[in-house]
Every structure is written in C-alpha cells, then in structure tokens.
Structure 1
Amino acid sequence: MTALKEELIFLILQYLNEKKYKEAVHKLEQESGCYFNMKYFGDLVQEGNWDEAEKYLGSFTKLEDNRHSVKIYFEIRKQKYLEALDMSDRGKAIDILRKDLKVFASFNEELYKEMVQLLALENFRQNQQLSKYGDVKSARNNMWVELKKLFEANPVFRDKLKFPPCESRLESLIKQSLRWQHQQCPNPRPSPTFHTLYTDHTCPTDGARGPAPRNVQLMGPPNPRAETLPPMDSHTPLPLVVSPSASATQRWMAIANPPLPHDAAAAAAQVPSGLLQPQSAAAFFKHPRTPTNAPPGGGDNQTLESERLWKRLRTAQTDEASFSGASHPPNIRPQDDIPKTVVRTLNQGSNVMSLDFHPIHQTILLVGTNVGDVDIWEVGSKERIAHKTFKVWDMGSCSMPLQQSSLVKDATISVNRCLWSPDGSILGVAFSKHLVQTYAFSLNAELGQLLEIDAHVGSVNDIAFSHPDKSLSIVTCGEDKTIKVWDATTGQKRYTFEGHDAPVYSVCARHIESIEFIFSTGSDGKIKAWFYDGSGPKVEYDAPGHGCTTMAYGANGTRLFSCGTSKDGETHLVEWNETNGRIKTTYSGFRNRPFGVVQFDTSRNLLAAGDENLIKFWDMDRAYMLTSTDADGGLPASPRLRLNGEGSLLAVATSDDGIKILANTDGQRSLTTREKRDYDDTVKRIVQATVDGTTAADVKLRIPGDNGWKSSDIVDSARLRALRLPDSTTASEVVQLLYTNSGIAVLGLGSNGVHKLWTWARVDHNPSGKSNASVAPRLWQPSNGAVMINDTTGANPEEGTSCMALSNNDSYVISASGGNVSLFSLVASKLMTTLLSPPPVPTFLAFHPQNNNMIAIGTEDSSILIYNAQTATVTADLKGHQKKITGLAFSRSLDVLLSSGADAQLCMWSIDGWEKKMSRFIQAPASHAAAAAPLDGDTKVQFHKNHPHLLVVHASQLSIYDSKLECMHSWSPRDALAASISSATYSCDGLLVHAGFRDGAVGIFEADGLKLRCRIAPSAYLSPSMQKSREAAVVYPVVIAAHPSAPNQIALGMSDGAVHVLEPSDAVPPKEKAALPSIRLQS
C-alpha cells in the first residue's frame, strides 16, 4: 500500500471515529490492516470476548508469522482454557484443548502435555506454576499487560500501533478544496454556496461579481479545529480566502520550519520499515529548505547529482513503494550480549573528554583529555601505546586571533573530540581553542604529525571525516557558528557552510550512493543538512527539546539516531524516520536533571547512554530501556562512553580520571584469548632473549602477537566438540551454508533447491540461545508445512549454480538454483516474490552491506547485474570476466565490489559509478601440474572484517591479497593436507582461516601468513558408520561457514547432505607452562 493511500485510510478512520461509526471503524481497521486498535482489542480481551478478539487479531497476523505471534495466540487461548477449567466446564475445556491448543504441540510438546494434565486436577491452581492465579478479572488484566509487550515487540505491528495526529483532517481538506475550487471560478461570488461534493464547485455565471472582502487572510487559520465544516446537506456559505501571491508563498516557504513530533507516546510505534527499504536521507529532504541566495551553478561537480537526488526524493514523497515486512525485526537480546561486566580499569591521569575505538583493531582505544593529552591504549594488555601532550606545532603560521588569544598565555586547553578516520590510518583531534591536529597511525610506529589547522575562532566543538569528490576530508564545526571542510592530505580549506544562528555543537557526515552531505546541530537545537554544492542548508528542523544534540548512524549505517539534553535537563534519545523526516521512536528511561549533557553511542543493534551515574542500554527495536549498570561505581553524572564496532566492548570515563572497560560474553572471550596469546608470546620472547644473551628488561611488548601457536592434528573426538545437525528429510548435497547474523541459526541450501533452517533454543545449558556443538538444534518446520524451495527449472546440479544470500537483518534470504531468483521471508518461511528470471542463470548473490535494496547478481554468462529491488530494475551490467561468476564480496571501507570467476580472475569495481578499477588473474602455485598455464575453476573471495585484505580461495591454493590486488601470502595443498581445497572462510575475528578439503579434512590457518595451526581429520567428526561409507564415496565439506561471534566454531555442509558444527578445542594449542621453571634470567 502506498503512503498516500494509507494516509487516506487513516483520514477516513478518523472521520468515522469522530462521527461515532464504531463498527465501521473496526471493520476498516481489519480490512485495511493499517492500524491495530489496542484499546479496542484490550476491551475484547478484558471482556472475555475471545472469538471476536481472535477474529480481529487474525486480520493482522497469523499464528505462524513469528514467535511473538505464536506467544500472543497462546496466551489468549491458554486464558480461555483456564477460565473453562475454573468454571468446571470440562467439556468446553477439552474442546478448547483439541481445537485451539493442539496446534502449539508442534512448538513445545512438553508444555502441551502439561496443559492436558490440568484436566486431571480438581483445581488447576494445584499446579505450582498456576498457584498464584487469582480471579478472572485480575488474570485478564495481567495477561493484557504481557500482551501489550508482545505487540510492541512484534515486527508485524510496527507502525500499526500509533494513530497519526489528524483530528478533523478530512473535513479540513474538503474545505481547502472547496475554497480552491471557488477561487478558480470566473466570477466568484463573495458568499458562495456549495451544493455537492460529487462535482467541482462553480459559481453561477448569471449575475455580477460581488466585491471582495476588505480584510483578506494570507493563509488559512492555523488551527483547523477553530473552524467547523458545515453539514453536508446544507447550503451554508463558506467564507472566502484569497490565495496568496506567488512571491508571498516563496517567502513563506523560505522560512518554513515544520515541527517534528516527539511525543513520548511514539515509543509504542517503533521501527518497522520495508525489507528492502531505501537507505536514504529522504527523512529530512522531503521538505527541503532552499535559500533564495543560493549561488547559481552550485559549488562543485556534485551539483548535478545533487539535483537528481532532490528530484528523486521529492517524487518519492508522492508515492513510495517498497517490499513489506520488517527491515529491523526486534531481537529479544540476552543479557550476556550487553557489555556490562567490568574487565579492565585504565588509569588515564586526567579527566577524559572523548573516547573512540579503532574501526579495525577492536581493542585499541583513542582518548582525549581536559588538559589536551591524546593517548592510545591497547585495552587487552592495558598498555598505553602512544601519548601526546598538547602544543602548538607552528605558532608562526597561526592566525592573529589565535596568536592574540589566551592560548599563548594559558597552556590549559581541552580536547573536545578525538576521532579515527574510517580506515583507522589517521586520527583527528579537535581542541577547545581554534585548532585541529591530525596524526598518522600505524601499529608498529610512533604517531606521526600530519596537519595542524587553525580551524575556527574560539572552540572547535566537533570533527568528522567525509569523502566529497572521493577524497578524504575533515569536517569541523565551532563556536564561530560555521562548518568547514578541509582536505585531509593538504589541510586546504575546501568548503565553508554558514547559516547557524548559534555555535555549531556537532556534525555528522553521511553519504547516499555517490552523494555526500553533512548534518549539523547548533547549541540552540537547530538541525541543518548541507550538500557540497554551495547552496546553503537544505533543511532546518528543531531537535527534540531544543538542546545540545548529537547525531549518529547505527545498525551498519542504516538508521539515524540523535540524543540531546535541553537547558532544563530533559533528555531525548530518538530514532528518525528517513522516509518522512519525523521521529520514529522515542526511547524512554531518562529523568530530568538540572545540569550536564547526556552522551550516547550505538553499535550493531545496541544503544548506550550515560545518565544518572549509570550506563543505560536499549535495543534499537524497543522503546523501553533494556538494562543499566553502574560499572561497579565511580561514574560521573553524565559519563562519556564509547562502544567498539562489534558492540562487545564499552569504554566509559570515571570520576577519578580513569577509564573502565566493560565487555559482553564475546568481548570477554576475545580478551581471554588475547591474554593466552600474550602469555605464549612473552614466553617465546623471554626464551629467545635468554638464548641470545639479552636480559628480560630488553624485551618490550608493543602490540602482542600470536606467534606462539603450534600446529597440531585432531584425529578423534576427544579434542573436538562435534555435532551432526538433526535432519529426517531427504538429503542432497549442501551447496550453500550460512550462519544468521545473530548466531542463533544455520541456514543450508541443497542441490535440490530446498532450504533448511536449524535454530537453537535458549535453555539452561545454553542461556545465550546461540549455536554450539553441545546442544542439538531443531530443524525449523513451520506449522503450515511450507518449505522454502527454489525454482529449479532447467537446473543442472552438476554445474553448481545454486546460490543464496541473507539480508543484514536476518529476515529475508535471496536464493536461486538455476531458475528464478527468489526472495523468501525467513520468519514466515514463505516465498515473497521473484526478482529475475533466467537467462542468464544466476550463480552468485550478495547484498550490499548497508543497503538491502542493492543486490549484486553474478551470472553464468560472466556478467554481474546490479539489481535495485525497490524499483525492480537492473541499474548496472558489469562486464569483465570470461567465464561464470563464482564469487562476490562488498567492502564498506573501500567502497568497492570485488568479483571472482571460473576464469580465476579477480575484478574490483567502484560502487560509485560501477567502473572497473583493476583486475588480476591469480597465479598457479609452483607445485601445480600446469603452473605455466593459466588457472581456471571456481574462485571464491571474502574481505577481511577489519583489514583491507582479501581471502581468495581456489582448489589449488589459499591466498591473501591486499587492496591493490597484490598477493601477500599464499598456501597450496601439501603434506597432510594434500587434497584440493573445497571451501574456506575467515573466522569472525579475522585471525583464522578455516578451510575444507576434498578428502574430508579441515585445516585451520593463521590469517596473517597462512601458517597451518591445526588439522582436523575426518575421523574426528564423522561417525564410524559414515567413515565406512567413505570407502565407497568420499564425503567432504562442500562449503564451510564461520560463526559470527565464536572464532573457533565452524559449520560444514557436506557432500552427502549432512551439516556438522565443529568446535576444535585445539585450534589454539595449550600453553607450555612447564618450560618456565627451567629458564634462568640474568640480571
């Protein structure tokens, strides 16, 4: 349903409700599905009108839609059953049990059995879990409280729980239309009468035109409720309002500042958006503010593209179309996913003003202080690896205002913001007086001075990095009410943006496709957006609370948030709707305080803010606060904090000039693993120092390495946790295998086109609910019996054309097996639509990491199609390969798409314009039988999570390439791993490479250097019966997948159709502690 049609239905609903047509209101709610009336449904529940309640509910969601819907239906039917038992109506209870509750046996058979056993009790309250069941009224009230939480969490009801403010809007629109019609009359009468709405109004042509009234309003009354529409059957005249002149309209538009709703009640209607929602800033650009003094011709070569984007965004507001479904489904986040456990304490020595984790090295923390110090910490080892005190590098080149300022006399200067560049090679520091300084950063070198910029008169309040014209720039804002953009290499000023009436408090750089722009917020709460075209601010809005506000993008850069605190101490943390410029969600949990500005941060699906001496956490998809922690005490009123990119670590400033590092389960695991490697590395260095005759004091540890590992073989299950996933269905070779991004499920695709999904439950011995090799999962089979199966028309399983990709939010999967490209809902296990039909046959699929609308489709005819799922069009057709495409990988940091083919060629394409940047053929290893001849055969590619490195997998070799497609390391099969390679992948932390071989073995390699660490023999994970069957046909891993958060867990998709989950305990061999006592150190 388009936006305008939906809004029209809301207007009709509002009109019917105002006229007291209650039955018609609820009937339209059901038939349109636009609005779920919680009050009406709550009344049905509390009155016990179960049949009508289920009928109304069924118009919006079916039982099998998702787990929230299952729970809603179960709670209603359970209450219905208990009430029948309470009235001793056994017959009715049995009828409910058979007709209504039997369906839940497939979800939880034990629970259903417990429900049956209640029949045998004289009073069901004898059951311990139901012993506190009171009377019917209180039970219904308690149930309704739980149901409301389920509705708010259910993605089906996103944007359906809040009715838009549109009081008497339909009548107002009719009045406006009648006025406009009257203004078009050739001879408008001063007191017109309106006889009908079925046809346009015209004044009779006989009779002279009456005089116009003397007091004419420029615009209609601002409050539509101040006027009332005359009865439709009357001929009551309407007062005439003359349309304003064009120039007056332009002046009014130039100063328009439409208000943004930020009612706390918006918390109930959170986050829905389409599966393939356009990732754009249409939010703020639906009502652009175009200054009258904009220079003609724009400012640079972005102008033309900017205008095109404006036109597209303006057009989009009239009729928006996208796939339905939840783009960001809610995630009931387990507590161990939230970084709440204090694992490190760092003594900074001065008050911390700014924090930022490195974008690649997740344990490296940048810190700026109130005395101008800049420090870099490695939080795993608690080592300060860099320290810089403030000083002016070149006073002679500074401006006169700076030289005359108190900076010369007063050395006290504070860091307002310190920030890493997107690739982590540069860090920028904004100071409280005039200056910005940048440094070059390398792991094994000192910080190198790059630029010192006299940026603003007074304080530099914030900085950001941007890429206008494809070159790295630094965006600054300051006390002088301006925003400036500087070349990050030369320091030359490129742009100055003026338009704020107060000091600019913060900036947020953003890009849509090839368009770069900036959001800025003033200390007066004004939000503005700027393009690099010299045309001034495009929009101007008021931040909630009109206070100091910061903006940030979360969830992989797809969702916009802001947090601000007003002068009265009122804090607003909100998510903005990027399709209409309104506030989508207001997060609750703040209290009014008299001072301080609340700081916030976002990572993955988590929001964190410092307030009331606490760290408070929210799931992005839930308006209410999840939990909070005081970090064992010692936090200031509004603590400054920062999450790392994985959301596994959080740094927070303390009142005693320190920093606490908090971690979730994954963060603790990564730090523990690092400690083990640090230990091995230290032992190795001490031993080497002893052999060389050096002292232990000469051994300095900078960034701890992991060179202490040794290769080992795992040949039995004693040193390996292995689990074959249960599957009673027909088996076929597993050709594709994926973990969901949440890590709670494994999705496989067979050569027969059938998808299988295994999910892990949250139980006592698996509280996180994530996949592991100790707890057997359940093969997901919806109650409706639906199976996700691809179109296999004309498919040849031997050609290996099956492919699939999972959306970033785990909600949808695109897949193909030689026929149409299909889009499935993973939640509902059903086909949503088909995207493309062969020829050519699709051979590889990949979602853009930031935009689910953009899909790269590799094909059998060697081309790559860039498909826009929102418009259902192919926007680019990339040619460069000679054989079918076998691999595709996007890189967010490099803004490129990398492709590989059966021609053993690698091609790198720019996402901005889709031009081919470079290409290279992989070389045959020296051991290859035809080393002189070019390679061919399937080639797979994968970008490293944290580095601009690339894993290239071919049957003949594993290789690591850099961003220029130069081979850095290569390994070819030999010795105990002599069979050809079938598949390989990086571990989730990028430290390991897991590889499968065609003899059934699995190799685990160090990613840096491809040194073999561990070999897993087939006998370690295959059952004896399977090992016997291998004598007839070798069973081997066709595809290998890495768990998204457990570095040592992998899943194997086998040639016989089985799926195994492995957790090798010796991927990192045990420490050789026994060697320590024999080492004698010389002083």
Structure 2
Amino acid sequence: MSSLNREAVFLILQFLDEEKFKDTVHKLEKESGFYFNMRYFEECVTNGEWDEVEQYISGFTKVDDNKFSMKIFFEIRKQKYLEALDRHDHAKAVEILVKDLKEFSKFNEGIFKEMTLLLNLENFREKEQLSKYGDTKSARAIVLAVLKKLIETNPLFRDKLQFPTLKNLRLRTLINQSLNWQHHLCKRPRLNPDIRTLFADHSCLESPCAYLPVAILADSIPKNGDSRSLPDAKLKYSDEEISKAWKLTELNKPSQLHSLRLPDCHLPVRIIGLTYTHMGGAILALAFNAVHKLWKWQTSDGKATSSVPPQLWQPPNGILMTNDISDTRLECAVPCFALSKNDSYLLSTSGGKFSLFNITTFKTMTTFMSPPPAATSVAFYPNDNNIVAIGFDDYSIYIYNIRIDEVKSKLKGHQNRVTGLTFSNVLNVLVSSGADVQLCVWSMDGWEMLTRKFLYIPHGRESSSPLAPTGVQFHQDQIHLLAVHETQLAIYEAPRLDCLMQWFPPESSGSVTDATYSCDGRLIYASIKDGSVCVLTATTLQLRSRITPAAYIPLNPRVYPVVIAAHPSEPNQFAIGLTDGGVHVIEPPESGGSWCVAPSLEGGVGPSVNSAAGSG
C-alpha cells in the first residue's frame, strides 16, 4: 500500500471529529496541490501576504506552464512591487524587481524597463497607466478580481476549484480524496481515469494528450459529432481578434530585421535540404537537382552571420557534390541528408543510391543502398559516425554500419514511408516519424519498439496529400520532442509520447513547410507556405513574432521557404531555403538582440496564444 493510502486509512481511523477532519484535509489538500482553496487564497491576497500567495499558487502551477500562469505570477509580483514603492521602501522594491520581475523581461523587455523607471518617481501614480491606482486595500481588491478570473480560466486549475461536500459522506470523500491524490501523482493524468480501489496503487499507463494548448490562430476545435472531438475545449476567438493578434506580431519591413541572401552562381533551383555545420561557420544546402551548395564565413569568430556575406565554396578541382540520380525520377524522390558530428562527412541521397562525401574535397568516398526501396530519411547514430539509421519508402528502418557495409537491424512498425529520424542519448532511444502521421519510439538496446502514437489532426484540417511527411527533432534536453507536419506543430514527451501541446497555423496562411528548435531550445522557428516565418516560444507554442515575406523578399511575393535551419550556437539566428533556390540568413535587427514578444489579447505580459484542454 502506498504512503498516501496508509495516511488516508490512518485519517479514517483517527479523525471522526468534523472540524478536525476538515482542518486535516485542508492541510493535506494544501500540501498535495489537489484542491485549490479560493477562500484561503482570497484571505492571503486581501491581507497582502504575497509570499504565501505565491507559495500556494506554486503548488498548482509554475510561471512558464501557460499564458494564464505567467500572468498570475506577474500580477502577484507587480502588486508586491507597487506596494513596496507606495510605502517608499525602495530597497525592497529593487529586490522584488531584480529577483521576481526580472524573469519576465525575456517575455516582454519593454514592460520590465517601464517598471524599472518607476523607481525614479516620487509617486508612481504620476505614470498615466497607474494614475487610477487607489489605496492599498482597493488595489488589492482589483488584483484579486483579476487573479480569480485568471485562475478560473487556467486549464491547470480545472476540477480543482470545488471543495468536496463533507456533511454526510466524509468517509467516502476521504477515500475518494486518496484515490484522486494517487491520480494527481501520475506523470500525465488521464482525463477519465479508471480508479477502483484504495488498496492498490493507481497509475495512468497509456495517457492520451491530456492538455492540448491550441493557438488562437486557428479554429482547431472539431465539429460536434466528430468521434475525435476535444472534450471541455478553455477558449474561442473571433476572426477580428485572431487577425489582431496575428498583426500585433508582424515584422513586415526590411528595417525590422537583418536578412542576407547568400551569394550563388548556380542555377536557381528549389532548395529541399538545409543545415548549418555543427561548428556554425558554414551552411550546407541541397537543391532539387541533387546538387549540394556550401557557404563558408571568413569572420573573426568563425561563425555565420547576416552582417558579412560568406563565400560559396568549391574545391580547386571544381567538382560539385552531386547525388547519383541516374535511375531516379526526381519528382517522385524524397531527398534526405545528414552531416557527421565532426563536420567532415556528408551522407546524402536524392532518391537513388546514398553518397558519402568528403566535405573538404567534395569527393565521393562511397555509394551504397541502391533502390528499391528508396531511402527517405537518415540520421547518424550519436555515438558512432559509422552507424546510421535509414528510413525507406517501404515503411522500414535499417540500422546500418557504413564501414563494414552491414545492416545490423531492420525495424518494422510504420504504415507509410519513414520521413523523420532522431536519437536521444539521454533516453537511449530512436524516434521515427512517417507519412502515416505516426511516431514510433525504439530502444537502442535491442531495437524493439517501445511506444507508438498518431498525431491528432482535427476535423477539417486533414493533409492535402496522403504522403505528407512528418519530421521529428529532440529538444536539447533530449526528452521533449518536436513533431512537424503540414497541419501543425506538436510537442511530445518521450519515451511515452505524451502529447503536451499543438499549434495550428491559420488556414488562410497555408501549411507548415518546416520547423526547428533554436539552439538553446527556447524558441521554435516555423516556415509557412504563405512565405512567412513564425517564431514561437518552445515551452508554450505561443507566437512571439511573424516575419512576413515583405520583410526579406519584398520583390517576389510568390516565393516561400521550404526548409529552415537554426544556428548551432546563436539562438536568434536561423536560415531558410526558398522555392527560388535562394538561401537567407535572418537575425533580429540589433546585434545580440532577440525576437520581440507580442502582447496577449488580455493585454498582459505573455505572447498571444491561448490554451484549451482536451485529449487527442
């Protein structure tokens, strides 16, 4: 029997007095974070017990859980700061500013700077936005109303705002409390758990997407009657509000960013593969005609930048790195490539044989794996550059040793071509994705399948093609996983593949063409078929900036990015490969700057994306 069960049985035997029982349950519910006691919370806010208020809230949510949580913590800390200023305790105000409010500067630097300037005022009410701030008591009442609304709207507080009825059913209530506490401890609690007994520990084994944050930029809630409908779906926005939120984040002038189109003397052929070298000093692209292009920067720090044009590099012998396409129909091929960890070797195919190139000399070291089947994805094994995982159009995956020309394992599980592969050393797994919109997790010890999940695609947002690829990439923590499909971005937690959130672009913008994590894992860059690039916060999938085509290709609106790559050490730099054969490096307008944060629809600190709960 678990410790929680034993404690519950002890309480059943020990506490028969109603008041003692309520007091004890209140203590436990406060410690366990299962029920939120709004009355207790109101008392603390009214009394200005801000440390206790934040400590209590922290039992239910953290600052970066979602937009509502972020706004809750911001309002608490802002009020604590204003009260310190109001009583002229500048030392305390500075402490609050540096320790508590500084955290929000990464989301909205402008608001943080404005709050800093309040230190210079004799009375912060001189500031127009704060001119209606009354006395402390009335200000706390206003803040309390705001906080209550945010808590009631926050999906993390769902089902936690009602305290159980205890009058006649206190024994049953306590048992249910214990069972619910067990459920609360599940890593990813199901919405409708099957909990039947107090005397066996409960665990949600196969959890669907319990919480599904959905961008305001799409009507992602399925129509009534659809068997995949999301229950209890937290928010809907009008077309006007969606349009407003979209425009608030737009960068649509060349002066609002730094963009450099890389010099190119080759034919203008569509770019279909793109990556930085691991050292960050060069960019490698694969064009539709099977030709690779390599740009190198001759900068003082050896890193790629939008400030200095690189050299389109070619060895003295003048040869090109070109894939073998002698027996290939390019229009049917699914090109793929991977760069070795030491930046010395490139493994690439455009639907024919694999070619292993020496990056320094451009020479072809070897070719292998003649189709059929044709390779459609590839990834180097993290611990050995001689071993690769290769996905094929016959739905299989090979674990292949290049040096000894041997297939070590063949993995079967997909129902369509395999289009994405990524390794996690932390979890010791390989994750694959396919045109079947399925994700599979394979153990690197024995290569057996551990888990599989299908992406949730709402009604009306189905793919335009049955062969639309799904890509996968691990976050730098090697636990969180980004899945990229033309309909959406989705974040999963491996190895169980619990769906944490999804983001859908507005239908008017077209489909997602590609996406990638920034090198520090804080941002996601997503290229869209309307020519725009969306910059999203990785933890919430909330929109920070939208770069329109007018900002980087103002003279050719029909061009759009096909692939996107993030710089390996500069988190705010990325590159895009375009349909017209161009490659652009894009950065914020200021050196060392960051992509701007959009205000939310509520006017708060967070980016403009909202959440809804449901299962996928």
Distance 1:688 1:790, change over 3 A: farther
> For residue 347 of structure 2, what is the amino acid of its counterpart?
I
Could you tell me how far apart the structure 2 residues matched to 1:1055 and 1:989 are? Answer: 28
Report the CA distance between 1:937 and its aligned residue.
Answer: 2.0
Matched, 1:753 2:144: no
**1:838 aligned partner:** 371
**1:940 aligned partner:** 471
Report the CA distance between 1:1002 and its aligned residue.
Answer: 0.3
Matched, 1:1058 2:582: yes
**2:500 aligned partner:** 968
**1:788 aligned partner:** 321
**1:978 aligned partner:** 509
Q: Is the 8 Å Cα contact of residues 440 and 452 (structure 2) preserved in structure 1?
A: yes
Report the CA distance between 1:1071 and its aligned residue.
Answer: 12
**1:53 aligned partner:** none
Q: Is the 8 Å Cα contact of residues 733 and 1057 (structure 1) preserved in structure 2?
A: yes
**1:708 aligned partner:** 108
Q: Is the 8 Å Cα contact of residues 357 and 364 (structure 2) preserved in structure 1?
A: yes
**2:565 aligned partner:** 1041
**1:890 aligned partner:** 423
Q: Is the 8 Å Cα contact of residues 723 and 1062 (structure 1) preserved in structure 2?
A: yes
**Contiguous gaps of at least 5 residues in structure 2:** 1-57, 60-70, 87-92, 111-247, 604-616
Number of aligned residues:
383
Could you tell me how far apart the structure 2 residues matched to 1:1023 and 1:832 are? Answer: 42
Q: Is the 8 Å Cα contact of residues 78 and 101 (structure 2) preserved in structure 1?
A: no
Report the CA distance between 1:971 and its aligned residue.
Answer: 0.6
Give the structure-1-normalised TM-score.
Answer: 0.34
> For residue 1069 of structure 1, what is the amino acid of its counterpart?
C
Could you tell me how far apart the structure 1 residues matched to 2:76 and 2:305 are? Answer: 35
2:351 pairs, out of 818, 821, 824, with 818
**1:865 aligned partner:** 398
Matched residue SS, 1:804: strand
Q: Is the 8 Å Cα contact of residues 681 and 708 (structure 1) preserved in structure 2?
A: no
Distance 1:1071 1:986, change over 3 A: closer
Matched, 1:1069 2:601: no
> For residue 831 of structure 1, what is the amino acid of its counterpart?
T
Could you tell me how far apart the structure 2 residues matched to 1:925 and 1:980 are? Answer: 14
Could you tell me how far apart the structure 2 residues matched to 1:691 and 1:702 are? Answer: 12
Report the CA distance between 1:795 and its aligned residue.
Answer: 2.5
1:147-166 correspondence to structure 2 within 5 Å: none
> For residue 972 of structure 1, what is the amino acid of its counterpart?
F
Could you tell me how far apart the structure 2 residues matched to 1:702 and 1:874 are? Answer: 55
Report the CA distance between 1:707 and its aligned residue.
Answer: 4.1
**2:446 aligned partner:** 913
Could you tell me how far apart the structure 2 residues matched to 1:943 and 1:930 are? Answer: 25
Could you tell me how far apart the structure 1 residues matched to 2:109 and 2:467 are? Answer: 34
Report the CA distance between 1:687 and its aligned residue.
Answer: 2.9
1:402-440 CA deviation, whole Å, 9 max, x = no partner?
A: xxxxxxxxxxxxxxxxxxxxxxxxxxxxxxxxxxxxxxx
Give the structure-2-normalised TM-score.
Answer: 0.58
Q: Percentage identity across aligned positions?
A: 44
Could you tell me how far apart the structure 1 residues matched to 2:551 and 2:577 are? Answer: 16
**1:740 aligned partner:** 277
Report the CA distance between 1:887 and its aligned residue.
Answer: 0.4
Q: Is the 8 Å Cα contact of residues 925 and 972 (structure 1) preserved in structure 2?
A: no
1:422-465 CA deviation, whole Å, 9 max, x = no partner?
A: xxxxxxxxxxxxxxxxxxxxxx89xxxxxxxxxxxxxxxxxxxx
1:587-602 correspondence to structure 2 within 5 Å: none
> For residue 856 of structure 1, what is the amino acid of its counterpart?
A
> For residue 1040 of structure 1, what is the amino acid of its counterpart?
I
> For residue 878 of structure 1, what is the amino acid of its counterpart?
L
1:687 pairs, out of 61, 71, 78, with 78
Matched residue SS, 2:569: coil
Could you tell me how far apart the structure 2 residues matched to 1:1071 and 1:879 are? Answer: 44
**1:1013 aligned partner:** 544
Q: Is the 8 Å Cα contact of residues 535 and 543 (structure 2) preserved in structure 1?
A: yes
Could you tell me how far apart the structure 1 residues matched to 2:462 and 2:311 are? Answer: 47
Could you tell me how far apart the structure 2 residues matched to 1:972 and 1:786 are? Answer: 43
Matched residue SS, 1:815: strand
Report the CA distance between 1:1069 and its aligned residue.
Answer: 2.6
**1:802 aligned partner:** 335
Report the CA distance between 1:848 and its aligned residue.
Answer: 1.0
RMSD: 3.1
Could you tell me how far apart the structure 2 residues matched to 1:756 and 1:999 are? Answer: 25
Report the CA distance between 1:769 and its aligned residue.
Answer: 2.1
Higher relative contact order (CA 8 A, sep 6+): 2
Distance 1:956 1:842, change over 3 A: same
Matched residue SS, 1:805: strand
Report the CA distance between 1:709 and its aligned residue.
Answer: 6.8
Could you tell me how far apart the structure 2 residues matched to 1:812 and 1:795 are? Answer: 23
Matched residue SS, 2:377: strand
> For residue 266 of structure 2, what is the amino acid of its counterpart?
T
Could you tell me how far apart the structure 2 residues matched to 1:962 and 1:837 are? Answer: 35
Could you tell me how far apart the structure 2 residues matched to 1:779 and 1:930 are? Answer: 40
> For residue 289 of structure 2, what is the amino acid of its counterpart?
N
Report the CA distance between 1:923 and its aligned residue.
Answer: 0.8
Distance 1:970 1:727, change over 3 A: same
Report the CA distance between 1:969 and its aligned residue.
Answer: 1.0
Report the CA distance between 1:724 and its aligned residue.
Answer: 0.5
Matched residue SS, 1:968: strand
Matched residue SS, 2:78: helix
Report the CA distance between 1:974 and its aligned residue.
Answer: 1.7
1:682-733 CA deviation, whole Å, 9 max, x = no partner?
A: 9876435468999967886499464437962110111110000011111211
Higher Cα Rg, which structure: 1
Distance 1:735 1:684, change over 3 A: farther
Q: Is the 8 Å Cα contact of residues 1014 and 1067 (structure 1) preserved in structure 2?
A: no
1013-1022 or 727-736, larger mean C-alpha shift = 727-736
Could you tell me how far apart the structure 2 residues matched to 1:694 and 1:800 are? Answer: 65
Distance 1:1071 1:790, change over 3 A: closer
1:627-657 CA deviation, whole Å, 9 max, x = no partner?
A: xxxxxxxxxxxxxxxxxxxxxxxxxxxxxxx
Report the CA distance between 1:1023 and its aligned residue.
Answer: 4.6
**2:528 aligned partner:** 997
1:916-953 CA deviation, whole Å, 9 max, x = no partner?
A: 00101101035x3459x998621000000125100001
Report the CA distance between 1:797 and its aligned residue.
Answer: 2.9
703-712 or 992-1001, larger mean C-alpha shift = 703-712
**2:386 aligned partner:** 853
1:99-138 correspondence to structure 2 within 5 Å: none
Q: Is the 8 Å Cα contact of residues 904 and 936 (structure 1) preserved in structure 2?
A: no
Could you tell me how far apart the structure 2 residues matched to 1:924 and 1:934 are? Answer: 14
Could you tell me how far apart the structure 2 residues matched to 1:952 and 1:872 are? Answer: 31
Report the CA distance between 1:903 and its aligned residue.
Answer: 0.6
Distance 1:687 1:1067, change over 3 A: same
Could you tell me how far apart the structure 2 residues matched to 1:1010 and 1:811 are? Answer: 35
> For residue 883 of structure 1, what is the amino acid of its counterpart?
N
Matched residue SS, 2:530: coil
**1:779 aligned partner:** 312
Distance 1:916 1:1071, change over 3 A: closer
Distance 1:930 1:1052, change over 3 A: closer
Could you tell me how far apart the structure 1 residues matched to 2:409 and 2:101 are? Answer: 47
Q: Is the 8 Å Cα contact of residues 315 and 360 (structure 2) preserved in structure 1?
A: no
**Contiguous gaps of at least 5 residues in structure 1:** 1-443, 446-679, 1076-1083
Report the CA distance between 1:901 and its aligned residue.
Answer: 0.3
